[in-house]
Structure 1
């Protein structure tokens, strides 16, 4: 699991640079022909990790329900994310790797409810969910790299 956490931490550090390099307006911009923006992708990876790792383990998520609703799979951005919400997403992006790692090391994860993703991946264990999370975050990083070309 050390490699899984190391990859995830590296991914999150790449994501955090978007907050330094783009204004609130740019984070909210939905380029023509695209269905989402940078901040939606950032929020989406936070809520997806919480669902994949915590909710599927029968544990409460560390995010507000309102954030989950706004950024869950199938949602769409409205282009009106506030600076306060951006700050909250940034904080969660930064803190959840350490929190999840410490929960893992403390043995908090005792069960896992298998899950079939919409893309056809069967996640039968927590380890598979964490590895899929890294894959999922890589997909969204690619999408964000495309979006940034247009803003």
Structure 2
């Protein structure tokens, strides 16, 4: 598990660099052929990590219900995200992962409600599997973000 919890901050650093080097307009733009935008994908990975790790472990989330409502599975951008909203997501990129690492090393994740993920059909049965899937999920969305960036630059 140590490796997974070391990879996630690095993935988040990549998302952070993308936020810092992409205009607000491009973070919000949904190119033809896509259903969402860069900032939705980044907000989605933050929300999904919280739901898969904390909610299914019966622990309180470190994010608002409003954020969950905007970025959870089966949502899509409902309008442009303001710079303030982007800054909130950017801050949560690191605070949520650092808290998860701390909580994991302090053995706070004691129980886990099984959950079958729609992406692969696998059933998560414990926190270790959840973090392994979170790493896969964030890599998948990083790929989407990179495709969006290429489309926006062409």
TM-score bin, normalised by smaller chain: over 0.9
- What value does the CA root-mean-square deviation take over the aligned residues? 0.8
In the alignment, the residues of structure 2 paired with residue 23 and residue 78 of structure 1 have an alpha-carbon distance, to the nearest angstrom, of: 19
Query: Bigger CA drift: 60-69 or 73-82?
Result: 73-82
* Corresponding position of 1:100: 100
In the alignment, the residues of structure 2 paired with residue 116 and residue 107 of structure 1 have an alpha-carbon distance, to the nearest angstrom, of: 23
Cα drift, residue 78 of structure 1: 2.5
Cα drift, residue 147 of structure 1: 0.4
In the alignment, the residues of structure 2 paired with residue 142 and residue 135 of structure 1 have an alpha-carbon distance, to the nearest angstrom, of: 11
* Corresponding position of 2:126: 125
1:29–1:79 contact (8 Å) kept in structure 2: no
In the alignment, the residues of structure 2 paired with residue 79 and residue 137 of structure 1 have an alpha-carbon distance, to the nearest angstrom, of: 23
Tell me the number of residue pairs that the alignment of Structure 1 and Structure 2 aligns. 151
1:30–1:79 contact (8 Å) kept in structure 2: no
Q: Tell me whether 1:46 sits opposite 2:43 in the alignment.
A: no
Give the TM-score of the pair, scaled to structure 2. Answer: 0.95
* Corresponding position of 1:148: 149
In the alignment, the residues of structure 2 paired with residue 117 and residue 73 of structure 1 have an alpha-carbon distance, to the nearest angstrom, of: 10
Q: Which stretches in structure 1 are left out of the alignment for 5+ residues? A: none
Cα drift, residue 82 of structure 1: 0.9
Q: Secondary structure at the match of 1:18?
A: helix
The Cα offsets for residues 21-79 of structure 1, whole Å up to 9 and x where unpaired, read as: 10111100000111000000000000000000000000111100000000000001134
In the alignment, the residues of structure 2 paired with residue 104 and residue 145 of structure 1 have an alpha-carbon distance, to the nearest angstrom, of: 30
In the alignment, the residues of structure 2 paired with residue 69 and residue 138 of structure 1 have an alpha-carbon distance, to the nearest angstrom, of: 22
Runs of 4+ in structure 1 displaced over 6 angstroms?
Answer: none
1:28–1:39 contact (8 Å) kept in structure 2: yes
The Cα offsets for residues 93-150 of structure 1, whole Å up to 9 and x where unpaired, read as: 0211111111111121111111001120110111000000000001000011100012
